Amino acid sequence: MSAPKKVVLAYSGGLDTSIILKWLQTEYGCEVVTFTADLGQGEELEPARQKAELLGIKPENIYIEDIREEFVRDFVFPMFRANAVYEGLYLLGTSIARPLISKRLVEIAKETGADAVAHGATGKGNDQVRFELAAYALNPDIKVIAPWREWDLTSRTKLLEFAEANQIPIAKDKRGEAPFSVDANLLHTSSEGKVLEDPADMAPHYVYQRTVHPEDAPNEPEFIEIGFEKGDAVSINGEAMSPATILTKLNEYGGKHGIGRLDLVEGRFVGMKSRGIYETPGGTVLLEAHRGIESITMDRGAMHLKDQLMPQYAEIIYNGFWYSPEREMLQAAIDKSQEHVTGTVRVKLYKGLASTVGRWSDHSLYSEEHVTFEDDAGAYDQKDAAGFIQLNALRLKLLAARDKRLSK
Amino acid sequence: MSAPKKVVLAYSGGLDTSIILKWLQTEYGCEVVTFTADLGQGEELEPARQKAELLGIKPENIYIEDIREEFVRDFVFPMFRANAVYEGLYLLGTSIARPLISKRLVEIAKETGADAVAHGATGKGNDQVRFELAAYALNPDIKVIAPWREWDLTSRTKLLEFAEANQIPIAKDKRGEAPFSVDANLLHTSSEGKVLEDPADMAPHYVYQRTVHPEDAPNEPEFIEIGFEKGDAVSINGEAMSPATILTKLNEYGGKHGIGRLDLVEGRFVGMKSRGIYETPGGTVLLEAHRGIESITMDRGAMHLKDQLMPQYAEIIYNGFWYSPEREMLQAAIDKSQEHVTGTVRVKLYKGLASTVGRWSDHSLYSEEHVTFEDDAGAYDQKDAAGFIQLNALRLKLLAARDKRLSK
Amino acid sequence: MSAPKKVVLAYSGGLDTSIILKWLQTEYGCEVVTFTADLGQGEELEPARQKAELLGIKPENIYIEDIREEFVRDFVFPMFRANAVYEGLYLLGTSIARPLISKRLVEIAKETGADAVAHGATGKGNDQVRFELAAYALNPDIKVIAPWREWDLTSRTKLLEFAEANQIPIAKDKRGEAPFSVDANLLHTSSEGKVLEDPADMAPHYVYQRTVHPEDAPNEPEFIEIGFEKGDAVSINGEAMSPATILTKLNEYGGKHGIGRLDLVEGRFVGMKSRGIYETPGGTVLLEAHRGIESITMDRGAMHLKDQLMPQYAEIIYNGFWYSPEREMLQAAIDKSQEHVTGTVRVKLYKGLASTVGRWSDHSLYSEEHVTFEDDAGAYDQKDAAGFIQLNALRLKLLAARDKRLSK
Amino acid sequence: MSAPKKVVLAYSGGLDTSIILKWLQTEYGCEVVTFTADLGQGEELEPARQKAELLGIKPENIYIEDIREEFVRDFVFPMFRANAVYEGLYLLGTSIARPLISKRLVEIAKETGADAVAHGATGKGNDQVRFELAAYALNPDIKVIAPWREWDLTSRTKLLEFAEANQIPIAKDKRGEAPFSVDANLLHTSSEGKVLEDPADMAPHYVYQRTVHPEDAPNEPEFIEIGFEKGDAVSINGEAMSPATILTKLNEYGGKHGIGRLDLVEGRFVGMKSRGIYETPGGTVLLEAHRGIESITMDRGAMHLKDQLMPQYAEIIYNGFWYSPEREMLQAAIDKSQEHVTGTVRVKLYKGLASTVGRWSDHSLYSEEHVTFEDDAGAYDQKDAAGFIQLNALRLKLLAARDKRLSK
Predicted local distance difference test score (pLDDT) of residue B154: 83
How long is chain C?
Answer: 408
Angle between helices D15-28 and D156-165 (to 10 degrees): 70
Predicted local distance difference test score (pLDDT) of residue C5: 96
Q: Name the β-bridge partners of B192.
A: B181, B276
Among partner residues C299, C302, C332, which is closest to A336 by beta-carbon distance?
C332
Kindly report the number of other CB atoms within 10 A of residue D85's CB atom: 17
Q: With an 8 Å Cβ cutoff, are A358 and B399 in contact?
A: no
pLDDT > 90? residue D175: no
From residue D26, give the alpha-carbon distance in Å to each of B45, C2, C4, D20: 83, 92, 92, 10
Distance from CA of B83 to the nearest CA of C (A): 22
Q: Name the β-bridge partners of C275.
A: C265
Instruction: Specify the pTM.
Output: 0.97
Q: Which residues contact C157 (CB under 8 A, 6 or more apart)?
A: none
Predicted local distance difference test score (pLDDT) of residue A1: 64
C58-102: pLDDT as tens digits: 999 999 999 999 999 999 999 999 999 999 999 999 999 999 999
The answer to whether D221 and D210 have CB atoms below 8 angstroms apart is: no
Q: Name the β-bridge partners of D239.
A: D236
Q: How far apart are CA B317 and CA B82, in angstroms?
A: 12
Predicted local distance difference test score (pLDDT) of residue B150: 94
In terms of C-beta density within 10 A (0-12 exposed, 13-18 middle, 19 or more buried), how is residue C41 classed? middle
Backbone φ, ψ for residue C144 (5° rounding): -120, 130
Whether the CA torsion B360, B366, B369, B375 is positive or negative: it is: negative
Interface residue ranges in chain A relative to chain C, Cβ cutoff 8 Å: 267, 270-273, 298-299, 301-302, 304-306, 312, 321, 324-326, 328-330, 332-337, 391-395, 398
Interface residue ranges in chain C relative to chain B, Cβ cutoff 8 Å: 299-301, 340, 362-365, 367, 370, 380-381, 383-388, 390-392, 394-395, 398-399, 402, 406
Q: Is C337 annotated as a binding residue?
A: no
Among partner residues B386, B402, B406, which is closest to C387 by beta-carbon distance?
B386
Kindly report the number of other CB atoms within 10 A of residue C140's CB atom: 18
Chain A residue with minimum CA distance to C140? A379
Predicted local distance difference test score (pLDDT) of residue B366: 96
Element (H, E) at D66: strand D62-66
pLDDT > 80? residue D249: yes
Angle between helices A243-256 and A281-297 (to 10 degrees): 110
pLDDT > 70? residue B361: yes
Chain A interface, best mutation among C313, C317, C336, C392, by max A CB count within 10 A? C336
Q: How far apart are CA D296 and CA D310, in angstroms?
A: 19
B69-106: pLDDT as tens digits: 999 999 999 999 999 999 999 999 999 999 999 999 99
From residue B257, give the alpha-carbon distance in Å to each of B213, B287, B408, D381: 8, 16, 64, 52
Dump strand ranges (E) for B39-92.
62-66
Q: Which residues contact A124 (CB under 8 A, 6 or more apart)?
A: A270, A272, B370, B371, B380, B382, B385
Backbone φ, ψ for residue A315 (5° rounding): -65, -40
Listing DSSP states for A226-295 in one string gives: EEEETTEEEEETTEE--HHHHHHHHHHHHHHTT--EEEEEEE-TTS-EEEEEEE-HHHHHHHHHHHHHHH
Question: Left if phi > 0, otherwise alpha if psi is -120 to 50, otherwise beta: which for D360?
Answer: beta
C188-215: pLDDT as tens digits: 999 998 899 999 999 999 999 999 999 9
Q: Which residues contact D371 (CB under 8 A, 6 or more apart)?
A: C124, C197, C272, C273, C274, C275
- CB contacts, 8 Å: D301 with chain A: 395
Show the 3-state SS of D354-368.
EEEEEEECCCCCCCH
Q: How far apart are CA D302 and CA D339, in angstroms?
A: 11
Q: With an 8 Å Cβ cutoff, are A271 and C391 in contact?
A: yes
Q: Determine the 3-state secondary structure of B155 from DSSP.
A: coil
Dump strand ranges (E) for C156-295.
181-184, 189-192, 222-229, 232-236, 239-240, 261-267, 273-279
CA A159 centroid distance within chain: 30
Dump strand ranges (E) for B60-104.
62-66
pLDDT band at D171 (very low <50, low <70, confident <90, very high): confident
Q: With an 8 Å Cβ cutoff, are D203 and C357 in contact?
A: yes
C361-392: pLDDT as tens digits: 999 999 988 888 777 878 899 999 999 999 99
Kindly state the percentage of chain C with pLDDT values over 70: 100
pLDDT > 90? residue B313: yes
Kindly state the percentage of chain B with pLDDT values over 70: 100
From residue C117, give the alpha-carbon distance in Å to each of C20, C107, C144: 12, 10, 5
Q: With an 8 Å Cβ cutoff, are B398 and C300 in contact?
A: no
Predicted local distance difference test score (pLDDT) of residue B156: 85
Amino acid at the residue B109: A
Which is nearest to C131 in space by CA: C9, C298, C1?
C9
Q: With an 8 Å Cβ cutoff, are A365 and D390 in contact?
A: no
pLDDT band at C308 (very low <50, low <70, confident <90, very high): very high
pLDDT > 90? residue B157: no
pLDDT band at D1 (very low <50, low <70, confident <90, very high): low
Amino acid at the residue B39: L
Which is nearest to D253 in space by CA: D167, D178, D346?
D346
From residue A268, give the alpha-carbon distance in Å to each of A262, A358, B252, B262, C360: 17, 37, 36, 32, 39
pLDDT > 70? residue B1: no
Amino acid at the residue C400: A
Q: Which long-range contacts (CB under 8 A, 24 or more apart) does C109-115 make?
A: C109/C6, C109/C8, C109/C33, C109/C139, C109/C142, C110/C139, C112/C6, C112/C8, C112/C33, C112/C61, C113/C6, C114/C4, C114/C5, C114/C6, C114/C7, C114/C8, C114/C31, C114/C33, C115/C4, C115/C5, C115/C6, C115/C7, C115/C142, C115/C143
User: Could you report the predicted ipTM of this complex, rounded to two decimals?
Assistant: 0.96
As a dihedral over the C-alpha atoms of residue C393, residue C395, residue C399, residue C402, rounded to 10 degrees, the angle is 110
Q: With an 8 Å Cβ cutoff, are B326 and D304 in contact?
A: yes
The answer to whether C359 and D215 have CB atoms below 8 angstroms apart is: no
Binding residues of D: 10-18, 37, 90, 95, 120, 122, 126-127, 130, 181, 190, 266, 278
pLDDT > 70? residue B318: yes
Q: How far apart are CA A243 and CA A245, in angstroms?
A: 5
Listing DSSP states for D26-38 in one string gives: HHH--EEEEEEEE
Chain A residue with minimum CA distance to D379? A394
Domains and CATH numbers, chain D: 6-71+93-166 (3.40.50.620), 181-298+340-360 (3.90.1260.10)
Among partner residues D299, D386, D394, which is closest to A399 by beta-carbon distance?
D299
Which is nearest to A226 in space by CA: A368, A348, A83?
A348
Q: How far apart are CA D63 and CA D8, in angstroms?
A: 10
Whether the CA torsion D280, D284, D285, D290 is positive or negative: it is: positive
- CB contacts, 8 Å: C391 with chain B: 384-385, 388
pLDDT > 80? residue D375: no
Amino acid at the residue C237: N
CA D269 centroid distance within chain: 16
Predicted local distance difference test score (pLDDT) of residue A173: 74
| Furthest CA-CA distance within chain C | 89
D371 vs C219, higher pLDDT:
C219
In terms of DSSP bridges, do strands C353-360 and C343-350 run parallel, antiparallel, or are they unpaired? antiparallel
Catalytic option among A49, A81, A98, A104: A98
The answer to whether A81 and A335 have CB atoms below 8 angstroms apart is: yes
In terms of C-beta density within 10 A (0-12 exposed, 13-18 middle, 19 or more buried), how is residue B69 classed? middle
Q: Which chains touch B (3 or more CB pairs under 8 A)?
A: A, C, D
Residuewise pLDDT in 10s, chain A (408 residues): 688 999 999 999 999 999 999 999 999 999 999 999 999 999 889 999 999 999 999 999 999 999 999 999 999 999 999 999 999 999 999 999 999 999 999 999 999 999 999 999 999 999 999 999 999 999 999 999 999 999 999 888 899 999 999 999 888 777 777 888 999 999 999 999 889 999 999 999 999 999 999 999 999 999 999 999 999 999 999 999 999 999 999 999 999 999 999 999 999 999 999 999 999 999 999 999 999 999 999 999 999 999 999 999 999 999 999 999 999 999 999 999 999 999 999 999 999 999 999 999 999 999 988 888 777 878 899 999 999 999 999 999 999 999 999 998
Q: How far apart are CA A55 and CA A22, in angstroms?
A: 7
C322-343: pLDDT as tens digits: 999 999 999 999 999 999 999 9
D278-322: pLDDT as tens digits: 999 999 999 999 999 999 999 999 999 999 999 999 999 999 999
Predicted local distance difference test score (pLDDT) of residue C226: 98
Q: Determine the 3-state secondary structure of A150 from DSSP.
A: helix
Backbone φ, ψ for residue B87 (5° rounding): 50, 40
Answer yes or no: D175 catalytic.
no
In terms of DSSP bridges, do strands B189-192 and B222-229 run parallel, antiparallel, or are they unpaired? unpaired
Q: Determine the 3-state secondary structure of D233 from DSSP.
A: strand
CA D367 centroid distance within chain: 35
How long is chain D?
Answer: 408
Q: With an 8 Å Cβ cutoff, are B395 and C340 in contact?
A: no
Q: How far apart are CA D254 and CA A331, in angstroms?
A: 44
Predicted local distance difference test score (pLDDT) of residue A282: 98
